Structure 1
Amino acid sequence: MKIKKNDIVTVISGKDKGKSGKVLKVFPKQQTLIAEKINFIKRHTRPTKKVQQGGILQKEAPIHVSKVMLICNKCGKKTKVKIERHSGKSVRICKKCKEMIDLK
């Protein structure tokens, strides 16, 4: 996967189209990620010994990687990512401004 934790992404399709947020967690096997303020679901919880107060909770749900696009921190645009090897390390490169995003 070309999107990593702490990247800024924007949603390009679906109910949250146009929203952007920071990636909190990535699930490579399922090709999904959790980003803050994106893809909220409502969870109905029952009062238990651990959770004294039940009710309806809102939390972020995983969203598929194909529905989001990385925002380059140099040029600030939605971009695709190219991976190249520089001095023995893999580096992600923005296809629009040709700048390195970070080291792997």
Structure 2
Amino acid sequence: MAKIKKSDSVLVIAGKDKGVTGKVIDVLGDRILVEGVARVKRHTKEQTGERGVKVGGIITVESSIHISNVMVVDADGKASRLGSRKNDDGKNVRISRRTGKDI
């Protein structure tokens, strides 16, 4: 099970976009989509959308990257590993291993 969730802020630690921080758009098993990272050109067939607007051509979209190539950014703005603990209500809470604070 992945500890990284949708809308987390992450830092890319490996690959062509190393050092870039972005927000997680989607988690796809062991791969994730990060806003502004691993952008690729996609050729799509031009179609007529709503109100007769032409949509298509060459568009730039985010491609997925492996989940091991990112680290979660904690409240201090630094990359940290994740852990978990039980809170007072007995629910699991994600914590930063670097500081011990909740994420």
TM-score (norm 1): 0.85
Distance 2:92 2:67 in 1: 20
Distance 1:47 1:91 in 2: 46
Question: Following TM superposition, by how much is the alpha carbon of 1:52 offset from its aligned partner in structure 2, in angstroms?
Answer: 2.6
Indicate conservation of the 8 Å contact 2:42/2:60, yes or no.
yes
Q: What is the number of equivalent residue pairs in this alignment? A: 98
Q: How large is the RMSD of aligned CA atoms in angstroms?
A: 1.5
Distance 1:53 1:11 in 2: 31
- Whether 1:40 aligns to 2:39 is yes
Which segments of 5 or more consecutive residues in structure 1 lack a partner in the other structure?
Answer: none
Indicate conservation of the 8 Å contact 2:83/2:96, yes or no.
yes
Indicate conservation of the 8 Å contact 2:71/2:79, yes or no.
yes
Which segments of 5 or more consecutive residues in structure 2 lack a partner in the other structure?
Answer: none
What are the equivalent positions in structure 2 for 1:3-42 lying under 5 Å apart? 3-27=4-28, 30-42=29-41
TM-score (norm 2): 0.86
What are the equivalent positions in structure 2 for 1:1-104 lying under 5 Å apart? 1-27=2-28, 30-50=29-49, 52-73=54-75, 75-87=76-88, 88-101=90-103
The CA deviation string for residues 7-52 of structure 1, in whole angstroms up to 9 with x for no partner, is 110110001111110111112xx31111111110110122234473
SS in 2 for 1:99: coil
